[in-house]
Structure 1
Amino acid sequence: MSGLLGTKVITQIGILVNDIDKVSQAYADFFGVEKPQAIITDTYDKAQTQFNGEPSEARAKLAFFNMGSLQLELIEPDEHPSTWRNYLNEHGEGPHHIAFVIEGMKEKISLLESRGFPLQQKGEYTGGRYAYMDTIPELKVLVELLENDK
């Protein structure tokens, strides 16, 4: 039996926060590691962010902790409509997604949509692209697809 993604290796867990500096420091202290520098996602002209099929100006501050085999991503969204902002408003701080590195983004999105997991948000980043698929009804968390340029 082959899975829908072609992998079962979780590469990242994403957590939504209201104050990235405060929560980054808390994780750094908890694990005894250096606090990462937060970055801000690209503007629309580069990121080409789409949320529920519409262009979105949404941006977020991100901080990454490399935790051995997986990465912990903290996300502090801006006020614009996005999967991050909506989820934070509806559910408060906490886990948002689990991410997998895949190949063939368009095909994977089509396959998942055909199985009843609609695309919620997608965009570009330096070196690749991402897509959040709405797997919450069945998996209780979003699945993020990450495709890195070769």
Structure 2
Amino acid sequence: MSGLPAGLPGPGVLPAPLAGLPVAQVGILVPDLAAGMATWSAILGSDDWLVYTYGPDSVPRLTYRGGPGTFRMRVALIGNAPQVELIESLDGPSIYTEWISEHGYGLHHLGFRVPSAQTAINEVTASGVGLLQSGSGYGQDGDGGFAYFDTQASVGLIIEAIEVPRHRRPSEPLPRGLR
């Protein structure tokens, strides 16, 4: 018997501009960021988190399903091989609220680092894969971007292209009870 078991993606399912890149991030939706950080600190044996709130006040350009985005989320980042990102959705609509409604909390996306989020958007959408949600300009220098693509049918979850900003804003304070 050959091939992958039912429900697993087959070869060639990543959009060409992202194929072959290493997974840089595992994105997990959590109902409560502080509780998620406590759980994942115990799992990973580390509590070296960076925490950010992203939304219209901190990300100048947000899109959601082809229109302007108004969503807000709080994220916690740890590690780098790959990085774990916990996401607490604060306001929607967003791909986070959609996923929670359809699938509940847990694994949401795999992220891949790219030099330019906009170039990734142009190339991935040109290959026929839809853009679900994006944001750009959240770094201290106005750079940094993210773009989520509609790969649920081919990969079983969402794929994200991540342009890491040259200089991040300082981390927000950690929730009570952590460090």
Please report the TM-score for the alignment, with normalisation by the length of structure 1.
0.86
Q: Distance in 2 between matches of 1:15 and 1:141?
A: 11
What is the match of residue 71 of structure 1?
83
The reply on whether 1:109 has 2:121 as its aligned counterpart is: yes
**Unmatched runs of 5 consecutive residues or more in structure 1:** none
Count of residues paired in the alignment = 148
Q: Residue 52 of structure 1: CA displacement?
A: 0.3
The 5 Å alignment of 1:28-107 reads 28-34=41-47, 36=49, 38-44=51-57, 46-66=59-79, 68-107=80-119
RMSD: 2.2
Q: Aligned partner of 2:24: which letter? A: T
Question: Percent identity at matched positions?
Answer: 26
Contact 2:55–2:71 (8 Å) recurs in 1? no
Comparing 45-54 with 69-78, greater Cα deviation is found at 45-54
CA 1:44–1:137: 2 relative to 1, 3 Å: farther
Query: Which of the pair is proportionally richer in helix?
Result: 1
The partner residue of 2:29 within 7, 12, 16 is 16
Query: Which of the pair is proportionally richer in strand?
Result: 1
Please report the TM-score for the alignment, with normalisation by the length of structure 2.
0.73
**Unmatched runs of 5 consecutive residues or more in structure 2:** 1-11, 167-179
Q: Aligned partner of 2:132: which letter? A: Q
Q: After the TM superposition, which segments of 4 or more aligned residues of structure 1 sit over 4 Å from their partners? A: none
Q: Distance in 2 between matches of 1:137 and 1:40?
A: 30
